[in-house]
Amino acid sequence: MDPATDPRDAEIKLDPNDLYREESFTDRRVGGIRCLIPVTRAGAEDSSRQTVYIGQTQLWSQMGPIPINFEIPAENLDQAIEAFPEAAKAGVERTLREAEEMRRQQESQIVVPSADQASKIQLR
């Protein structure tokens, strides 16, 4: 692996100008809403930035639960609760499209033998 692109060499550092306090809300049945409240590096609320609402739910598949996360366009928790069903539907559709694309890419991969493997192939 190229040392310049080795992820172990990457600097892991929080951005002190983009911090959020997180609160979670759930109905313990369908899903939850994470409320990300912007804060300053001192921990005080930062009213110059928008609060972000992230919805969470799951799809059940033959392989087990598939987590679905999606942003909810809202200005407060009440709006986020109201917008949850439509945002969840869009999140599920996006996840299914991504899964289909991954499946399509995996099926279209052509396996090319390495030089070592190719030298061991005997043509008759």
When pLDDT is averaged across residues 84-107 and rounded to a whole number, the result is: 93
Compute the CA torsion angle 22, 29, 68, 61 (nearest 10 deg). Answer: 150
pLDDT at 109: 79
Whether the per-residue pLDDT at 46 is higher than 90: the answer is: yes
Mean pLDDT taken over the chain: 89
When pLDDT is averaged across residues 81-100 and rounded to a whole number, the result is: 95
pTM, two decimal places? 0.74
Distances (CA, A) of 112 to 16, 102, 115, 116: 46, 20, 9, 11
